[in-house]
Structure 1
Amino acid sequence: MNKYDLTITKLHQMVKEGVVPGVSYLIFDHQHTIREVTGMAQVYPETEILKPGMLYDVASLTKVVGTVPVIAQLIQKGTLSLDDPIKQYLPEFNDDRPTIRNLLTHTSGIAGYIPHRNELTASELKKAFLAKMHVEDSLNRQIKYADVNYLYLGWIIERIYDQPVQNVITEQVLKPLNLPTATFNPTPANCVPTEVQTKRGLIRGITHDPKGYILGASCGCAGLFASLKDLEIFSHALIENNLNGLLTPKIINLLFKDQTRIPGPHSGSLGWKLFHAKDGHLVISHTGFTGTWMVLDRQNDQGFIVLTNRVHPSAKNQEFLDVRDQLLAIYLNPKCQFKLERK
């Protein structure tokens, strides 16, 4: 496993140099696993040591751990189709061109500005997202990652199940997979804090995402809290046994192939970003704003899960994004050479 030495060195350096307060990471390669929890959970206003089993606000990992599996189950059952128009399920939306596929692959072109968005109530915010957005020329021409796509998917799930999307994810994904601590309603003391904000103070055990904070259980793009163990179980299930049988091999195959309608090779499957491994086959990856990411390699039965609270005490942390990109490149190609000293 010494091929991961450089990856581990870079992870340690990230903590040592204060790029993140602490890190919980896991690298698995078939049956061999490296896991470590190191650093601090909190540095302001008081210090607190990071402990194994603590829950992280995984932010946009909610999309691929929760929302994508639920949509995939609905596709399996024939309840909806990838190329159904959004408007079929959300008639309040004003354009009949974007489809479920577009939402999943971030090729919908849906964009727009909602004034004073963070001051709206949940019902006002949902109404604004459905009525005030427009479709740009990038529809089916460009991947533009946007949370709005997964807000819409969450509301489509709600229309079908007639209950909040986060409740559906809990019943259809978290519980069947027996994830021991994954939840949308954690005990704050068990959670790693995120940002210290003027209005909200120290955010702990409540989603950092401002849209998720307003929408609560009706948010399909963020809001999940999970431990390293939860994501380890999820990852093995996804790449080894079709999410413990929740999905069919046919649906799982879709996750590892480009699903956009853009001509030529592109990098978007159903929710996941595609990367090429060293030998050229495709692996899937996703990140979360709070400082989380996952890389899963079905062909080689390998995975790389990193949980940090890079937004603590402040979300102004460009250095983390640079280091994350280096770490991903090093992991995918261990022979990559990067200077390990700070710039």
Structure 2
Amino acid sequence: MYEKTVQAITELVNDGTVPGVSYAFIDDRHVQTGLYGAEALVPSYEPLKPNQLYDLASLTKVVGTVDVILQLIATGKLALTDRVHDYLPAWQDTRVTVRHLLTHTSGITGYIPHRNKLSANELHEALLGMHVGENFEQKMVYSDINFIFLGWIAEVLLGKPIQTLITENVLQPLGMNDSTFQPADPMQCVPTELSSTRSLIRGVVHDPKAFVLKSHCGSAGLFSTLNDLIIFEKAMLENSDLPITTGQKAELLNDQTPLHHQWRSFGWALLDAKLPTPHRCIWHSGYTGTCLVLDLQTHQGMVFLSNRVHPKAPNEAFLARRNAIINTYLSEKSSLVTIK
């Protein structure tokens, strides 16, 4: 199955766009997996091995932070209309709410000089000193800052770093036992960039803000394997209340932005699946070359893991190719669905 999608994935490796890819297609109870290519090209070639840890980058948002926040909402500890200022008093703008952060409609903007050279405390203070611009509520502008703030709100409510909360409230209950924010063995990790300042980044988070903020970053930092992400997707596709309630899963298919037309849900982006019947899917990507797609209606999903920033970032050519692979997958998966 998925011959065209697999062909597009292998071509991505064969023409040098990415070193290698691990992938999975989930169709209800059936799972098809594969891997192809290399995990490292420098300092020497290393063939890709099964179930290596990938730096998920922004998939941390939807695998982890979104679920922690929605769990807080489900238990009445937090509301979508709650103001950020009420939990983070140093943030001066009283208009921004939890919904704005979850949907990237907060309009938070500003420039932090020498950001990557700041200490964690200095970066924390600088981020809370940013301001809201003209895009507030009017435009969806993707920003890590929204999910850094959400992580800090969860920390205020539950008294633990957001990455600890993700581990205790999402990873452990789901049995995602290989997933971690602190890999014990770098050689079990697929490397990312060969950086001029950090050398070869392997087993340590690639994202610069997450590298500084460490356990207090809810926007990036999670490492996971293909098998664990299959566990996550299957949990999302099942009629269970893990990692969030069935009602919240249904709400993920709605445009949750204040203007309801910006194709963004709670953390997840929305996709239009035209076949076999018109309906929405959800998806998210990570800067390092990772991607998840979920069709909650047909109980199908795709996991795509690459290290497109190896050996050098940003590798912009990858983005259009990734999007084409997603579109091919959406087309192929639809032909497998039996309408009941």
Using structure 2 for the length normalisation, give the TM-score. 0.95
- Give the Cα–Cα distance (whole angstroms) in 1 for the partners of residues 189 and 333 of structure 2: 35
- Give the Cα–Cα distance (whole angstroms) in 1 for the partners of residues 304 and 178 of structure 2: 17
User: Hey, which bits of structure 1, 4+ residues long, moved more than 4 A?
Assistant: none
Partner residue, 2:157: 160
- CA change 1:223–1:243 in 2 (3 A) is farther
Return the match for 1:254 from 246, 251, 256. Answer: 251
- CA change 1:257–1:104 in 2 (3 A) is same
Moved more, 156-165 or 109-118: 156-165
Return the match for 2:67 from 62, 65, 69. Answer: 69
Letter in 2 for 1:267: W
Q: Check the 8 A contact 2:138/2:259 in 1, yes or no.
A: yes
Aligned-pair CA distance for 1:34: 1.6
- Give the Cα–Cα distance (whole angstroms) in 2 for the partners of residues 240 and 169 of structure 1: 20
Partner residue, 1:339: none
Partner residue, 1:273: 269
Q: SS state of the match for residue 333, structure 1?
A: helix
- Give the Cα–Cα distance (whole angstroms) in 1 for the partners of residues 333 and 97 of structure 2: 41
Partner deviation per Cα, 1:143-193 (whole Å, 9 max, x = no partner): 100000001001111111112110111111110111120000112111000
Q: Check the 8 A contact 2:139/2:262 in 1, yes or no.
A: no
Partner residue, 1:306: 304
Partner deviation per Cα, 1:81-118 (whole Å, 9 max, x = no partner): 00111101111001000100000000000111000000
- Give the Cα–Cα distance (whole angstroms) in 2 for the partners of residues 53 and 334 of structure 1: 25
Letter in 2 for 1:180: N
* 1:103 aligns to 2:97 (yes or no): no
Unaligned regions of 5+ residues in structure 1, if any?
Answer: 337-343
Partner residue, 2:142: 145
Aligned-pair CA distance for 1:275: 0.6
Aligned-pair CA distance for 1:316: 2.8
Letter in 1 for 2:17: V
Return the match for 1:6 from 4, 7, 18. Answer: 4
Letter in 2 for 1:222: A
Return the match for 2:169 from 132, 153, 172. Answer: 172
Letter in 1 for 2:327: A
Aligned-pair CA distance for 1:224: 0.1
Letter in 2 for 1:49: P
Partner residue, 1:47: 45
Unaligned regions of 5+ residues in structure 2, if any?
Answer: 335-340
Matches within 5 A, 1:1-343: 1=1, 4-131=2-129, 133-186=130-183, 187-244=185-242, 246-263=243-260, 265-278=261-274, 279-334=277-332
CA-based RMSD: 1.4
Partner deviation per Cα, 1:182-238 (whole Å, 9 max, x = no partner): 000112111000000111100000000000000000000000000001100000101
Q: Check the 8 A contact 1:58/1:288 in 2, yes or no.
A: yes
Aligned-pair CA distance for 1:31: 2.4
Letter in 2 for 1:274: L
Letter in 2 for 1:168: L
Letter in 1 for 2:214: G
The sequence identity of aligned pairs, in percent, is 48
How many residue pairs match? The answer is 331
